[in-house]
Chains A and B, each alone.
Chain A
């Protein structure tokens, strides 16, 4: 069935380091792809999204490009801050109301 697979964590980085979290998808058709972030003790927030091949989503210095040829939607940020410490979820939707999440990657940024 349709699914997303994202890299296992946890990931620990120093401030100003480069972050990449891999996400690949398996789907029939052309799903919409998302990255959501969950800060400690909070609900999820949409970080960015892309709805078709070659679209690039970007927000708060994070970027991800919808790559149909590699079925990927990797999240990147060039210089992370302590405040970026959170759990990051790759997600997809092949249906107007159903959003399915990957396993989540815990990122810890140290000062």
Chain B
């Protein structure tokens, strides 16, 4: 199993809603990432978890709250989002040996629309 699975594939939410994005991998990877990708733009790193601990937070607003409940799962909790947060949210995983020594596996993403 060499997949990173993200759910849901599409999500529409209002600015007062609370929702969660989920990411799962069963490759034994110990590093997991959240990226945000606006249309026709490159992905931008949001968070990195290494061995279930948050190791990088790229100054992301607190309305985005990541969670890594175990080594296979990564969640992104959303609350009080703004329309400008509409984007494709990509999850990725790696073995945890560092990017220079390994390949990152990306999920297909959750396309989020905030109304």
Which one of A17-25, A36-44, A64-72, A75-83 is at the interface?
Answer: A36-44
Contact (Cβ within 8 A) B40 A104 = yes
Type the 1/0 row for B75-114, where 1 means its CB is closer than 8 Å to any CB of A.
0000000000000001010000011110110111100000
- Looking at chain A's contact residues, the main secondary structure is loop
How many chain B residues touch A (CB < 8 A): the figure is 24
- A103-B100 contact, Cβ under 8 Å, with A43-B106, A44-B90, A44-B106: no
Contact (Cβ within 8 A) A93 B90 = no
| Residues of chain A in range 72-111 having any CB-CB distance to chain B below 8 Å | 89, 93, 95-104, 106
- Chain A residues contacting B109 (CB-CB under 8 Å) are 43
Instruction: Say which residue of B31, B41, B45, B98 sits within 8 Å of A100 (CB atoms).
Output: B45
Q: How far is the CA of A106 from the CA of B39 in the complex (A)?
A: 12
- Chain A residues contacting B104 (CB-CB under 8 Å) are 44, 46, 99
Does A58 make an interface contact (CB < 8 A)? no
